[in-house]
């Protein structure tokens, strides 16, 4: 995915490849500007691909949304960070949901009305709110409407782009619990983007780590959250509030370069706390596979990284469990 023209052309997503099996939650993490949203928007067909392919059950769906069949569109839905951006301020919740159900399904008349009410129940939205306008809803309620809309056509994949980061902390857990519950009940797949590694650890089955538009590590959550990990992943963990503070040296140096000037060799070499030298600057590092299914792209071999890296405790995991449980009880 590219934006703009040379010499200021931005390579927002490049050389990224992953598959999301049915019913899996695939987490996507990386600093601001690493290409996560661009990736999700490309999958949803909201941006046209400049190269590469997207397949759904083996079928090529690389075309943008205007050129996709309705049957494909309803299978891939998206939940955004700010529901405000997608909710029409001049329509009631009922009007919006009806419109979506009509666009994505054959339901009309009573079946349509029933489906709208069923969707409200699905996301625990009080039926009385169906006749409200978005301005009359809280942030959490608006996000429930956006989620109801995403589930209107019984999707197979829901792309969640920071779905709770604009919400009040007290509401975040209830929306996360709702998303987790819907995923289980409907056995859909999620591509779940979050800055919060605690949330990723709690929700995701596998995780991909992006840096400057490239995937630098991918694997099951349990593997990626323990050494050996990519030095970039290590710095992400180090930036988290942890019980066990990592040594100060395990920090990414400086700020992320512009996506218009991606460094040669390993894109992370300019900031890497484990920089080796010349080879990191001049040659693209190989993919390493500590175990089947877990891979990271670095010159340092797994046994060496495992020896020098310390386990990093993402503090929020257990607390988040407790928080989720209490949120569930309240809900």
Ligand X SMILES: Nc1ncnc2c1ncn2[C@@H]1O[C@H](COP(=O)(O)OP(=O)(O)OP(=O)(O)O)[C@@H](O)[C@H]1O
**Residue showing the smallest CB distance to Mg ion in the complex:** 37
Token reading at 276: 């080796």
- Smallest separation, CB 193 to ligand X (Å): 7
Our finding on whether 37 is near Mg ion (CB under 5 A) is: yes
CA distances to 113, 129, 135 from 95, rounded to whole Å, are 10, 12, 14
Backbone torsions φ then ψ of 327, nearest 5 degrees:
-65, -40
Q: Which does 136 bind (CB under 5 to 8 A by kind): Mg ion, ligand X, none?
A: none
DSSP character at residue 127 = G
Strands 214-220, 206-211: pairing is: antiparallel
CB of 232 to Mg ion, least distance (A): 17
Environment class of 281 (CB within 10 Å of its CB; exposed 0-12, middle 13-18, buried 19+):
middle
Distance separating alpha carbons of residues 288 and 264, to the nearest angstrom: 19
Dihedral sign from CA coordinates of 227, 233, 238, 243 = negative
Residues between 21 and 50 that touch ligand X (CB under 6 A): 30, 32-38
Q: How many of the chain's residues bind ligand X (CB under 6 A)?
A: 13
199 interface partner picked from ligand X, Mg ion, none, CB below 5 to 8 A per type: none
Report if residue 12 touches ligand X, rule: CB under 6 A. Answer: yes
Written as one string, the DSSP assignment of 175-240 is HHHHHHHHHHHHT-EEEEE-S-HHHHHHH-SEEEEEETTEEEEEEEHHHHTSSS--HHHHHHHHTS
Among 197, 259, 323, 324, binds ligand X (CB under 6 A): 259
Q: How far is the CB of 252 from ligand X (least distance, A)?
A: 15
139-151 and 109-122 helices cross at what angle (nearest 10)? 130
Question: Helix (H, G, I), strand (E, B), or coil: what is residue 94?
Answer: helix
The distance of closest approach from Cβ of residue 80 to ligand X in the complex, given in angstroms and rounded to an integer, is: 11
77: partner contacted, choices ligand X, Mg ion, none (Cβ within 5-8 A by kind): none
Binding residues for Mg ion, rule CB under 5 A, total 1
**Minimum Å distance from CB 259 to ligand X?**
4
Applying CB under 5 A, which part among 14-22, 37-45, 225-233, 303-311 lies near Mg ion?
Answer: 37-45
Q: State the minimum distance, in angstroms, from the CB of residue 3 to ligand X.
A: 3
Contacted entry of Mg ion, ligand X, none for residue 191, CB cut-off 5 to 8 Å set by kind: none
Cα–Cα distance, 123 to 144 (Å, whole number) = 6
Partner in contact with 259, chosen from ligand X, Mg ion, none, beta carbon below 5 to 8 Å by kind? ligand X
Q: Which residues bind ligand X (CB under 6 A)?
A: 3-4, 10, 12, 30, 32-38, 259
Q: Which residues bind Mg ion (CB under 5 A)?
A: 37
């Amino acid at each position: 995915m590219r934006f703009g023209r040379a010499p200021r052309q931005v390579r927002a997503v490049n050389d990224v490849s992953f598959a999301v099996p049915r019913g899996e939650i695939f987490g996507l993490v990386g600093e601001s500007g690493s290409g996560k949203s661009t990736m999700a928007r490309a999958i949803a067909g909201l941006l046209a691909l400049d190269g590469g392919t997207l397949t759904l059950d083996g079928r090529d769906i690389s075309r943008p949304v205007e050129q996709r069949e309705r049957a494909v569109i309803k299978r891939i839905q998206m939940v955004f960070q700010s529901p405000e951006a997608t909710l029409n301020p001049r329509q009631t919740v009922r009007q919006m949901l009806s419109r979506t159900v009509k666009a994505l399904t054959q339901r009309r008349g009573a079946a349509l009305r029933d489906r709208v009410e069923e969707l409200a129940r699905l996301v625990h939205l009080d039926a009385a709110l169906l006749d409200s306008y978005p301005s009359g809803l809280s942030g959490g309620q608006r996000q429930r409407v956006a989620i109801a809309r995403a589930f209107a056509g019984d999707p197979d994949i829901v792309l969640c782009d920071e779905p709770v980061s604009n919400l009040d902390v007290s509401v975040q857990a209830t929306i996360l619990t709702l998303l987790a519950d819907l995923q289980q009940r409907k056995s859909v797949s999620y591509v779940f983007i979050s800055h919060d590694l605690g949330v990723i650890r709690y929700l995701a089955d596998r995780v991909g780590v992006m840096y400057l538009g490239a995937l630098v590590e991918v694997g099951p959550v349990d593997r990626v959250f323990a050494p050996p990990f990519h030095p970039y992943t290590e710095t992400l963990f180090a930036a988290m509030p942890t019980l066990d503070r990592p040594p100060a040296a395990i920090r990414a140096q400086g700020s992320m370069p512009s996506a218009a000037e991606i460094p040669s060799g390993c894109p992370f070499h300019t900031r890497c706390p484990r920089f080796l030298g010349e080879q990191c600057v001049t040659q693209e590092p190989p993919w390493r596979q500590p175990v089947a299914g877990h891979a990271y792209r670095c010159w340092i071999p797994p046994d060496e990284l495992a020896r020098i890296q310390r386990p990093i405790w993402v503090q929020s995991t257990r607390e988040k469990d407790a928080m989720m449980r209490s949120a569930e009880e309240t809900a």
